[in-house]
Amino acid sequence: MDNRLTDINSSIEHINEISAWVSSVQDLDRLLELIIETATRMMDAKASSLLMLDHKTQKLYFKVATGVKGTDIKQFEIDLGQGIAGYVAQTGEPLLIPDVAEDPRWYKEISESIGFKTQSIACVPMKVNGEIIGVVEIIDKADGSSIRDEDLKILSVFADLAAQAIGNARKIEHDKKEIIDLKNELQSKYEIIGESKALRKVISDAIKVASSKSTTLILGESGTGKELLARLIHRVGPRKDEPMIVLNCAALPETLLEDELFGHEKGAYTGAVARKIGKFELADRGTIFLDEIGEMSPGMQSKLLRILQEGVFYRVGGNKAIPVDVRVISATNRNIEEDVAQGYFREDLYYRINVVQLQMPPLRERREDIALLAEHFLDIFKKERGTSNLVISKEAMDLMVEYDWPGNIREMKNALERAVVMGNGKQILPEDLPAFACTTQYPGLEVGLSLKEATDLFKKEFIVINLRHTEGNRSRAAKTMKIQRTYLSRLIAKYGIT
């Protein structure tokens, strides 16, 4: 009796250990071994094993096997439906077989080949969310007696534990993968594409200033990637694990901007029902990016100057000076020196925000980046739309490389997105890039032609682009142009379109 009690106590200890493991899942293989060993000991079985079902091969393989032949048996694989384990894995029903010799499902080759005499077997499925992922089985009692109904019940409990552990481990694996994917996606979202000397130079300067706290002013036309550069500075600098807060100074009128930047105390004004933390405070220890700073009103300019000089600020309606440690990066597409000269922008503030100045070159001054960027954006939009075979035609690429891109990379990104949506899904053609429509000549738009000649020229060109769009399919082209197919054929003959 005493012996039995110590056994139970040690089993309980093991179960407690298992519960702790199941909820944390540090090492799945060790945990599964522990579960099977404990089950074996509790039921006093001769051997036991855990088999996993590989859904691809439809085979069961031994993950854990105890007993004197435990190591030998691991080399075997069992087909789904084969033997008792295969039967349970296929049907999902637990089985108890007191005498295997009497059961036609018994697959004796394995136990014979390893020389393991078997009398009785109990086998139960492991399920995760109703799906069978494997089985657990035990063979005979150590004292030679047969496995009983109550053993089957105990075995089921352990099989559930094992299934739970496997389910948890898979979920953690899945979540980890998802986090990595998201991180990569985020990284690629902020990746700066381009090999031009001009871009490389500004990036290497940015990396140099990243380690310091010097205020940095990024100049450049709109859409050149100023915000992207600011993110790079934050990301490679010592503040990378703290937030980078973005504020667009042009988007808000002065009072709202002040509220956004500094926050307010409860009751600061009607409607201020609770304290609000402003962006400067949110950016503490991190970076604040003041976009379009050139649009800031004179009143806001003085308030910003004060926080830069003193390193403290006041919430609206508050009288407590709040210290912050914030790295300030600003950007503008305006000619800010001119604004200073004209008195629109405070000179003292300008010097404060402009300790380091970086200039983003416009796209037309780094045309060698255009093709790279085009392929990069095409990749992104292809993934989003699942049109994996889409390519950019040479004609369209030539046009893009020659175009001046007044809206820079933002314009290009938008143009490509539109081309992917509107195009034929196989090739991006010049006419899918409407940004250029205004730079290409309308056919027939010249003085000296009659109206009829001009419209004929236009019609011919119009039909050509529609046919190209449908890869020569006349029915579809006619449908797009809302004319009869027969009429289209007549026009094709008339204008000699090939």
Point out which residues bind ligand ADP (CB under 6 A): 192-194, 220, 222-228, 373, 409-410, 413
User: Beta 244-248 vs 77-79: how paired, if at all?
Assistant: unpaired
Name the residue with tokens 């944390």.
Answer: 24
For residues 80-106, b (16+ Cβ closer than 10 Å) or e, as one string?
bebbbbbbbbbeeebbbbeebeebebb
Inter-residue contact 22 to 164 (CB < 8 Å):
yes
CB of 203 to ligand ADP, least distance (A): 9
Nearer to ligand ADP, 356 or 483 (CB): 356
Contact partner, 223, from Mg ion, ligand ADP, none, Cβ < 5-8 Å per class = ligand ADP
Q: Which is nearer to ligand ADP, 15 or 360 (CB)?
A: 360
Distance of alpha carbon 159 from alpha carbon 178, whole angstroms: 28
Query: What type of residue is 475?
Result: S
79/205 with CB nearer ligand ADP:
205
**CA 155 to the chain's CA centroid:** 41
Closer Cβ to Mg ion, 35 or 409, answer by number: 409
Residue from the set 140, 227, 258, 432 that interacts with Mg ion by CB under 5 A: 227
Q: What's the closest the beta carbon of residue 238 comes to ligand ADP, in angstroms? A: 22
What DSSP string runs through 130-179?
TEEEEEEEEEEETTSPPP-HHHHHHHHHHHHHHHHHHHHHHHHHHHHHHH
Three-state secondary structure call for residue 49: strand
Q: Which helix (H) or strand (E) holds 128?
A: strand 121-128
Instruction: Identify which of residues 151 and 369 has a Cβ nearer to Mg ion in the complex.
Output: 369
Q: Tell me if 412 sits within 8 A of 377, measured CB to CB.
A: yes
CB of 178 to ligand ADP, least distance (A): 23
Query: With CB cut-offs between 5 and 8 Å by kind, which of Mg ion, ligand ADP, none does residue 244 bind?
Result: none
**Cβ atoms within 10 Å of 171's Cβ, excluding its own:** 12
C-beta closer to Mg ion: residue 51 or 409: 409
Q: Nearer Cβ to Mg ion, position 230 or 463? A: 230
Q: Given CA atoms 194, 199, 201, 205 in this order, what sign does their dihedral have? A: negative
Site string for Mg ion, 232-271 (x = CB under 5 A): ----------------------------------------
Shortest distance (Å) from residue 444 CB to ligand ADP: 36
- Work out what residue 234 binds among Mg ion, ligand ADP, none; the CB cut-off runs from 5 to 8 Å by kind: none
Instruction: Look at residue 192 and give the partner it binds from ligand ADP, Mg ion, none, a contact being a CB closer than 5 to 8 Å depending on partner kind.
Output: ligand ADP
Structural contact between residues 77 and 59, judged by C-beta atoms closer than 8 angstroms: yes
Q: Which stretch binds Mg ion (CB under 5 A): 200-208, 225-233, 299-307, 368-376?
A: 225-233
Q: How many angstroms separate the CA atoms of 162 and 23, rounded?
A: 12
Residue with smallest beta-carbon separation from ligand ADP: 225
Whole-number minimum distance, CB 349 to ligand ADP, in Å?
Answer: 20
Pick one of ligand ADP, Mg ion, none as the site partner of residue 63 (Cβ within 5 to 8 A by kind): none
Which residues contribute to the site for Mg ion (CB under 5 A)?
Answer: 227
